[in-house]
Amino acid sequence: MLGTISAPTIGASSQPRNYPMPKHFSSRFALLALFASSACLAANIELIDDSGATVRLPAPARRIVSLAPNITELMFAAGGGSGLVGSVEFSDYPAAARQLPHIGSYARLDMETIVALKPDLIIAWQSGNPGAQIEQLRRLGLPVFLAEPKRIGDVARNLEQFGILSGSEAAGRAAATEFRSRVARLAGSYSGRPTVRVFYQIWDQPPITINGQQMISDVLHLCGGENIFASLPTLAPTVSVEAVLAADPEAIVASGADASRPAWLDAWKHWPRLTAAARDNLYYVDPDLMQRQTPRVLDGAAQVCAHLESARNKRPR
């Protein structure tokens, strides 16, 4: 059916008030309507987060609050850093992240400050943020996207997701592609090498390690390593010195609390029968490169791979 249009719209006051629309006008208007409809559909975002929940946004978020340092870093890496309006303590990478207003720590959120920032999206850490506070944010009507990267490949997926959520889809996709390429190069060099049994130590008193569900264990596997405590049920279990001695790892990799090598790493030399101590396979990696699930985990992985290759070269011939 042909539409109608008022004469003043086309600037011909002598024409009748209404007249049949020419076919070329009808086709053009139909195309415009189609484009407008497509743009509207493109603006709506629907993603499944790492908890399996569907998160819907009417458009890319412009005011984003990050509830973990690794989430902040991932958002910048995905090209959406300019949309961040708040983050938790220790969100210190890249340098621009240090300028963001703090909304408490990842374990204790400042709810009033978060609400005052008027976010249109909150990205939370599923296993790290308090569940009760996350639910409170949802009850306030704030959209929450839960992130929980457990495998190296999850970092690339989060980069793509964060790019979509923040309206920087191309940047997020490019960052994910580069990340996957780096993983492939490391795998090509090290994943087929002879296995090295590894004790990964986060802390000393008490000794804390990681199980097989943590990304660090995936890094060890990428480098041809085997996590001696992979079968333990909790993500960051406490173990005894006796358990480590009984497992007799060939290498010990420690991260500690900051960028300096922890003194307690060398305490393993007190047990000279321990293979890792006997061969001086006591290695350190900056925790920011290993304990944050971000693109920099591959910088840490490169160090771990080199350490494990060193351990292989120390084997008796």
Mean pLDDT for the stretch of residues 168-183: 98
The pLDDT assigned to 6 comes to 34
Residue 230 lies inside a defined structural domain of this protein: yes
Q: List Cα–Cα distances, 96 to 60, 285, 314, in angstroms.
A: 21, 24, 42
156 and 228 housed in the same domain:
no
Please, which pLDDT band fits residue 43 given cuts at 50, 70 and 90? Answer: low
Evaluate if residue 9 carries a pLDDT over 60: no
Mean pLDDT for the stretch of residues 156-168: 98
What is d(CA 33, CA 55) in angstroms, rounded to the nearest whole number?
A: 27
22 and 75 housed in the same domain:
no
The pLDDT assigned to 317 comes to 86
Helix (H) / strand (E) containing 5: strand 4-6
Q: Are 136 and 111 in contact (CB under 8 A)?
A: yes
Residue 187 lies inside a defined structural domain of this protein: no
144 and 61 housed in the same domain:
yes
Written as one letter, the residue type at 76 is F
114 and 200 housed in the same domain:
no
The pLDDT assigned to 259 comes to 73
The pLDDT assigned to 7 comes to 33
Residue 184 lies inside a defined structural domain of this protein: no
Q: Are 146 and 53 in contact (CB under 8 A)?
A: yes
The model's pTM:
0.84
Q: Are 175 and 77 in contact (CB under 8 A)?
A: yes
16 and 54 housed in the same domain:
no
Residue 84 lies inside a defined structural domain of this protein: yes
Task: For residue range 263-313, list pLDDT tens digits in order.
Answer: 999 999 999 999 999 999 999 999 999 999 999 999 999 999 999 999 999
Task: For residue range 57-116, list pLDDT tens digits in order.
Answer: 999 999 999 999 999 999 999 999 999 999 999 999 999 999 999 999 999 999 999 999
What is d(CA 101, CA 48) in angstroms, rounded to the nearest whole number?
A: 28
- Domain count of the chain? 3
Residue 186 lies inside a defined structural domain of this protein: no
Lowest mean pLDDT segment, chosen from 32-36, 228-232, 249-253: 32-36
Note the helical H segments in the chain: 23-43, 69-77, 111-116, 131-139, 152-166, 169-190, 215-222, 241-247, 275-278, 287-290, 297-313
CATH number at residue 239: 3.40.50.1980
- Contacts of residue 129, defined as CB under 8 A and 6 or more positions apart, other chains included, come to 67, 68, 106, 107, 109
The pLDDT assigned to 162 comes to 98
Q: Are 63 and 118 in contact (CB under 8 A)?
A: yes
What is d(CA 298, CA 303) in angstroms, rounded to the nearest whole number?
A: 9
157 and 55 housed in the same domain:
yes
27 and 95 housed in the same domain:
no
Mean pLDDT for the stretch of residues 15-39: 45
23 and 92 housed in the same domain:
no
Pairing outcome for strands 84-86 and 64-66:
parallel
Residue 188 lies inside a defined structural domain of this protein: no
Range of 294's domain? 193-313
Residue 182 lies inside a defined structural domain of this protein: no
111 and 149 housed in the same domain:
yes
277 and 300 housed in the same domain:
yes
The pLDDT assigned to 2 comes to 35
DSSP secondary structure string, 147-205? E---SHHHHHHHHHHHHHHHT-HHHHHHHHHHHHHHHHHHHHHHTTSPPEEEEEESBTT
Written as one letter, the residue type at 77 is A
154 and 208 housed in the same domain:
no
34 and 50 housed in the same domain:
no
Examine the fold and report which residue of 124, 149, 177 is the final residue of a domain before the chain moves on. 177
Residue 108 lies inside a defined structural domain of this protein: yes
